[in-house]
A and B are shown apart, each in its own frame.
Chain A
Amino acid sequence: MQDQVLDEAKRQLAVCNACRYCEGFCSAFKAMTRYRAFDTETVIHMSNLCHNCQACYHSCQYTVPHEFELNLPSALANVRVESWESHVPFPVLSKLFQSSPLVSLVSVVVVSILFWLVAGIPWLAADTFYDLISHSVLVLIFGPLFLAPLLILFVGLGRYWKTVNGERITRQQLADAFRAAANLKNLDGGAGQGCNYEKDDRYSQSRRWAHQATMYGFLLCFASTSIATVMHYGFGLVAPYPLMSLPKLFGVTGGILLTLGTSKLIYLKTKANPLLEASSRRGSDYGFVTLLWFVSTSGLLLYWAGGTTIAGTLLILHLASIACLFVSIPFSKMVHGFFRITALIREAQLQRT
C-alpha cells in the first residue's frame, strides 16, 4: 500500500479522534474511539467499515478551505480500494479491472465472440433454452469461471483477516454483521435519516434503497440460478420453467430489482461529488454497475425475447456478461461487499470484547 494514502488517513483520523462530533454516524467512528493512535491495520479495518455515506464530510468544520483539509470519506476510500488490491492475489488484474469503465465493456464483447465461436450459429431455430447452448457446455464454461475467482477472493479475504488480527468467528458475530449488511445500517446516518450523496449536505435514502435493490436483486438472481441447477441435476427438471416456479419467480423479481437498483445507482453517481470518493475509481465504478445492469437487463429481455430471432444474440451477450462479472469478482468493485462483511464481522468481534 502507498504510504501517502495511509499517512493521509492517519493524519485525518488524528483530527477526528480529538473531535468525535461524527461518532453517531457509523461504525467506523465507533471503532475510532477505541484507539488513541492509528496503526496501519486499524486504518485498514476502519476504511472497510466506512460505507462512504459522506455525512462526516458535510458535517465537518475542518474541510477545505480550512487548513486541516478534512475529507475523511475520500481518505478512507483511498485506503479501502488499495487494501483490496493489496490483499487479493494478482493485483495486476485488480489494477486492470479498476483502471477504466471500458475494461468491463471490452471484456463482455471479447467473451461474447468467444461464446459465439464455441456455440456456432444454430440458434436461429431454437425454441428451448438449452437448444441454444447445451447445459453441459454451460456448466463446463461456468464451473471453473465461477470457482477460480471465488478461490482467489477467499485467499484475499483470508489474508485480510490476518491483517486485521481476526479471531475465531462466533454465530453471534455473524448475526451482528449480517444484520448490519441486511439493512445497510451504516448508510442510515445513525438516526435513520439516510446519507449524503446526491443532494450535497441534505440527507436522503435513495442510495440506500438503490443499493439494497441491487444487492437483493443480485442475491435473488443468484438463488434462482442455484435452485435451477439443483432442479436440473437433482430432479431432472430441465429449463424452461413455468412462471410459477421458484427459479423464474426469483429470477424475474431479482432481475427487475437489479435493473432498477443499478439504474438508480448510476443516476445517483452522476449527481454525487467525485471528490468524496476514491479518486482513482470513479470510472471503473461506473463500468462495474453498468455491467451488473446489463446482466439483469439482458436476462429480463431474454424472458421476453424467448423464441424470437434476437434471442440467440441476447443469450450470448447475457452469458458473456455473467462470465465477465464472475471472473472479475475478486478484482472489481464487487469485492467491496465481501471485504465489508468481513470488516463488519471483525468489528462485531472487537465490539463484543
Chain B
Amino acid sequence: MTPDLPEITPNKELIRVGEGVIDFDVVVVGGGNAALCAAIRAAETGASVALFERAPKDYRGGNSRHTRNFRCMHRDPKGVLTGSYDEDEFYDDLLKVTKGNTDEDLARLAIRESESCYDWMLGQGCFFQESLSGTLSLSRTNAFFLGGGKALVNAYYNRLEAQNVSIFYQATVLDVVIRDRRFDGVLVDLNGEQKYVRSRAIVLASGGFEADKDWLARAWGDAAKNFLIRGTPYNTGEVLKRVLETGADQIGDPTQCHAVAIDGRAPEYDGGIVTRVDCVPFSIVVNQAGHRFYDEGEDVWPKRYAIWGRLVAKQPGQVAYAIIDSKSKDLFMPTVFSATVTDSLDEMAVQLGLSRDQFLATVNEFNTGCGRGEFFPTELDGLETKGVQPAKTNWARPIDTPPFYGYELRPGVTFTYLGFRVGPDAKVSFGGLPSDNVWAAGEIMAGSILGEGYLAGFGMTIGTAFGRIAGKEAGAHARSSAG
C-alpha cells in the first residue's frame, strides 16, 4: 500500500444483505480521462450516472491530470494539428513501438475514433494549444491540451456537473460484485462510510496498479521499493485485482510497465512531467560503483527515454548518475531540481557518493575513446567512441570542461500494462465471452491494444476512444434494461 492512504477493510456483510443500496443506471469507477469520457457519454443517453473518484477533489483526475496531449488521426490540418496523419501511418507508428505486439482491430478502432475525438473534446469545453516549445516534432501527430491534463479534466468535470451526474470524491471502490459475467453492484467507501451501490451497468476506468509498490515488488523483486511513481498514488489496482478474481480475462503481465529515468530527488508519487531529466544523450551515465552500463547516445532522446527506467532499475540501489560538462549544459529542457555542480570530477564523485577511483577511470577511458568529428545535438551525428565498453554511438564528446553537472536518476513508473481483455464494444470478456454489463476503458484495458512499448499520446487516445464507446454502450444498455 502507499504510505498515506488508509487501509480499508471491506465490509462484505453489506453486500450480503444489500444494505445501504443506492441505485443508478450506470456506475463509473475512476475519475481520470477514461472515466470522465465514459460518464459524459453515458449521461447523454439519459441514464442516471454515478462517478466514484477515489482521490479528493484537489487531486482528482488520476494520471490524466499529468498529461499534455493525445495522438490524433486527421486528414487535413485541423485546429492546432499540422499536415495530415492518416490511419495507416498512425498504425505503422504503433507497430514500430510495439514490435507487432498489437491487436490490429482494436488499435485501428482507437485510431479511427481519435479523428472525431478532437471536435468532440472541443464540444465538451476543452481547448487545445500549439505544440509546446521543444516538442515541435509532435505538432503533426499530437494535439496538446491548453493548460495540460488538469485543464482537460476540469473541463470534463464541469461538463458532468452540467449534466447532473452524481460525482463522488474520496469514494474508493473496494469490491465489485460480478456473478457469471453479470455485474450486480459495488462496495464503495464514501468518505469513511461504506455503501453497497447497485447499477444496471458499470464502466471500470480506475487505471493501472502502478502505485501499489507491493504488487510491483511481486513482479520486480525488492528493487521496486526504490521506484518512484510519476503519477497519482491512488492507482493501486484494487478494482483490477477484484474483477480479475471474478473471472475476467487478463491481458499482459505484471512485469510490464512503462518506466523512465527521472530525477532521483522527485517526490515518491505525483512528481509528473517536471521530474524528467533530458541530458542523458549528452552525458555519461554511471552507477554507484562508477561504471557506465549502456550506450547513452543510441538514439535521440524521445526514442530512448522509455528504456532508461528499466536500465536504471537494474543498477545497484536502482540509482544512476548522469554527468555532463559545461559544453552541454544548455542543450536540453531545463530541469526542476538544479544539478550538482562541481569544478572537478573528483569533487563530483564525492558529492554524488560515487566510487571515486572507478569513476575517474571510467571518465578517463571514455574521454580517451572519444573520436573527432562534428557534433550535432539535434540529430544522430555518429560521433562515437572507439574501444570503450559500452560504446557511446552518438554525441560522444569528452567530459572535460568544468564546471561539471551531475544528476541523480531513478526509475519513474508511468503506468502498467496488465489489464482486462475487451472487445470492440469495450465490454470486458470473461472466459472468452463478453460480459453482460461490464465495460472497461483507459489504462485498465490498454493492454488489449498495446502489448508492449508506447507511443506518445496514445494513452489518452485509448482512454478517450474507449471511454466514449463504453459510456455510450453502458448508458444504452442501462436504459433498455430499465424497460
**Chain A residues within CB distance 8 Å of chain B:** 14-15, 17-25, 33, 36-37, 55-56, 58-68, 189-191, 193, 201-202
Interface residue B272 (Cβ < 8 Å from any Cβ of A): yes
* Chain A residues in 8 Å Cβ range of B154: 58-59, 201
Quick check: A21 and B273 within 8 Å, CB to CB? yes
Which stretch of B300-308, B310-318, B333-341 is in the interface? B333-341
10 CB-based A-B contacts, threshold 8 Å: A18-B336, A21-B147, A24-B129, A24-B144, A36-B334, A63-B58, A64-B58, A65-B59, A68-B274, A202-B158
CB of A203, distance to nearest CB on chain B (Å): 8
Interface residue B384 (Cβ < 8 Å from any Cβ of A): no
B335 closest partner in A (C-beta):
A18
Quick check: B270 and A66 within 8 Å, CB to CB? yes
CB of B258, distance to nearest CB on chain A (Å): 18
Quick check: B267 and A67 within 8 Å, CB to CB? yes
Quick check: B158 and A191 within 8 Å, CB to CB? no
CB of A21, distance to nearest CB on chain B (Å): 3
Quick check: A23 and B132 within 8 Å, CB to CB? yes
Known: A61-B65, A62-B272. A191 touches B148 (CB 8 A): no
Known: A59-B147, A59-B148, A61-B272. A21 touches B68 (CB 8 A): yes
Which secondary structure dominates chain A's binding surface? loop
* Chain B residues in 8 Å Cβ range of A17: 334
* Chain B residues in 8 Å Cβ range of A189: 127, 146
* Chain A residues in 8 Å Cβ range of B66: 61
* Chain B residues in 8 Å Cβ range of A58: 147, 150-151, 154
Known: A18-B334, A63-B58. A55 touches B276 (CB 8 A): no
A63 closest partner in B (C-beta):
B58
- A24 to B149: give the CA distance in the assembly, Å: 14
Known: A17-B334, A18-B334, A63-B58. A190 touches B267 (CB 8 A): no
Contact of A201 among B127, B144, B158, B335 (CB under 8 A): B158
Contact of B147 among A22, A37, A67, A202 (CB under 8 A): A22
Q: A36-B334, A191-B129 are in contact. List 14 more A-B contacts (CB 8 A).
A: A14-B334, A15-B274, A18-B333, A19-B148, A19-B336, A21-B68, A21-B132, A24-B144, A37-B334, A56-B147, A58-B154, A59-B146, A61-B66, A61-B148
* Chain A residues in 8 Å Cβ range of B335: 18
CB of A272, distance to nearest CB on chain B (Å): 17
A32 closest partner in B (C-beta):
B133
Number of interface residues of B (CB under 8 A): 35
* Chain B residues in 8 Å Cβ range of A37: 334
CB of B122, distance to nearest CB on chain A (Å): 9
CB of A39, distance to nearest CB on chain B (Å): 14
- A40 to B130: give the CA distance in the assembly, Å: 29
A38 closest partner in B (C-beta):
B334
Q: Which residues B279-334 have CB closer than 8 A to chain A?
A: 330, 333-334
CB of B340, distance to nearest CB on chain A (Å): 16
Quick check: B149 and A61 within 8 Å, CB to CB? yes
- A20 to B133: give the CA distance in the assembly, Å: 8
Quick check: B147 and A55 within 8 Å, CB to CB? yes
B129 closest partner in A (C-beta):
A24
Interface residue B209 (Cβ < 8 Å from any Cβ of A): no
* Chain A residues in 8 Å Cβ range of B128: 191
* Chain B residues in 8 Å Cβ range of A64: 58
Interface residue B483 (Cβ < 8 Å from any Cβ of A): no
- A202 to B158: give the CA distance in the assembly, Å: 8
- A82 to B120: give the CA distance in the assembly, Å: 44
* Chain B residues in 8 Å Cβ range of A15: 274, 336
Contact of A24 among B130, B267, B270, B276 (CB under 8 A): B130
B65 closest partner in A (C-beta):
A61
* Chain A residues in 8 Å Cβ range of B6: none
Q: Which residues B104-150 have CB closer than 8 A to chain A?
A: 127-130, 132-134, 144-150
Quick check: B129 and A190 within 8 Å, CB to CB? yes
Quick check: A19 and B146 within 8 Å, CB to CB? no
CB of B161, distance to nearest CB on chain A (Å): 10
* Chain B residues in 8 Å Cβ range of A59: 146-148, 150-151, 154
* Chain A residues in 8 Å Cβ range of B146: 24-25, 59, 189-191
CB of A52, distance to nearest CB on chain B (Å): 16
The 3 closest A-B pairs by CB, nearest first: A24-B129, A59-B147, A21-B148
Quick check: A18 and B330 within 8 Å, CB to CB? no
Q: Which residues B176-226 have CB closer than 8 A to chain A?
A: none
Known: A14-B336, A63-B58, A65-B58. A25 touches B134 (CB 8 A): no
* Chain B residues in 8 Å Cβ range of A22: 147-148
- A55 to B336: give the CA distance in the assembly, Å: 21
Quick check: A18 and B273 within 8 Å, CB to CB? yes
CB of B305, distance to nearest CB on chain A (Å): 14
* Chain B residues in 8 Å Cβ range of A19: 148, 272-274, 336
CB of B233, distance to nearest CB on chain A (Å): 11
Known: A36-B330, A65-B58. A18 touches B134 (CB 8 A): no
- A17 to B134: give the CA distance in the assembly, Å: 11
* Chain B residues in 8 Å Cβ range of A20: 132-134
B135 closest partner in A (C-beta):
A20
* Chain B residues in 8 Å Cβ range of A67: 267
- A193 to B125: give the CA distance in the assembly, Å: 9
Quick check: B150 and A60 within 8 Å, CB to CB? yes
* Chain B residues in 8 Å Cβ range of A36: 330, 334
- A122 to B276: give the CA distance in the assembly, Å: 76
Chain A CB count within 10 A is highest, among B145, B148, B273, for B148
A33 closest partner in B (C-beta):
B133
CB of B129, distance to nearest CB on chain A (Å): 3
CB of B387, distance to nearest CB on chain A (Å): 35
B272 closest partner in A (C-beta):
A61
* Chain B residues in 8 Å Cβ range of A202: 158
- A190 to B146: give the CA distance in the assembly, Å: 8
* Chain B residues in 8 Å Cβ range of A191: 127-129, 146
CB of B148, distance to nearest CB on chain A (Å): 3
